Amino acid sequence: MLDLAEAVKANAFATAVQRDKTSMPGARPNAARTAILLARARKV
């Protein structure tokens, strides 16, 4: 099972992009998507 919110919070780059108010419009969803793809699923 993969907790999507935790995957984004655990990724330093995605967190920085999410907090940066000057990020380009497509940067936030792309950073979140990348963090989710890089996260490892845990067994339930």
Q: At what angle do helices 27-38 and 12-19 cross, to 10 degrees?
A: 160
Residue 14, both tokens: 């995605």
Q: Which amino acid is at 33?
A: R
Q: Determine the pLDDT at residue 9.
A: 93
In three-state secondary structure terms, 30 is helix
Q: Determine the pLDDT at residue 25.
A: 87
Per-domain residue ranges of the chain: 4-38
pLDDT, one tens digit per residue, over 7-38 is 999 999 999 999 999 999 899 999 999 999 99
